[in-house]
Amino acid sequence: MSRPDVDQLLVREAWLLDHQRLDEWLGLFTDDAVYWVPLQMDQAEPFTTASLIYDDRRLLEIRVRQTQHPRAHARVPAPRTVHQVTNVQVVADDGRELTVTSSLVMIEYRKERQRVWGGLVEHRLRRTDAGLRIAAKRVDLVNSESELCGIACLF
């Protein structure tokens, strides 16, 4: 896989999130994928310290279904977002998987309120017959330790 393939996947992921195409977004993930948003800066692992989000593929599917459910009042209205992915770097490639870091700025508009989220992102991308797929995604929000007043969007 080439660098343009990596860039294309990250841009595609952002576009799907911004257009609420969450079923297609789930299709970017492997069956054993993990989606993690740590609570603490430099958190080494998710098992001894609480996380904002720590979902395996099944929990991620449930999160998406809840988001799409018409009676999910806590998520109505759905947030409108713009994801900007920059500073993409391939930092490791073992032939099967690539580790890719990037910076994320996301604008969320919901309930007449706009919030700006920033984070450092690490994707572990796996080569498959269908192309690159996300085996793990970690989003370290720059303000993860502050009061966040409910997260209703996906990063």
Question: Average pLDDT per run of 10 along the chain, which is 155 residues long?
Answer: 88 96 96 96 90 94 81 70 96 96 95 91 96 97 82 81
pLDDT at site 143:
86
| Beta pairing class for 29-38 and 131-141 | parallel
pLDDT at 60: 94
pTM of the model: 0.92
Overall number of domains in the chain: 1
Question: Does 104 reside within a domain?
Answer: yes
Minimal CA–CA distance to 108: which of 145, 53, 152, 139?
152
Query: Tokens standing for 18?
Result: 């911004």
**Which residue range is the domain that position 125 belongs to?**
3-141
CATH of the domain at 84: 3.10.450.50
pLDDT at 107: 96
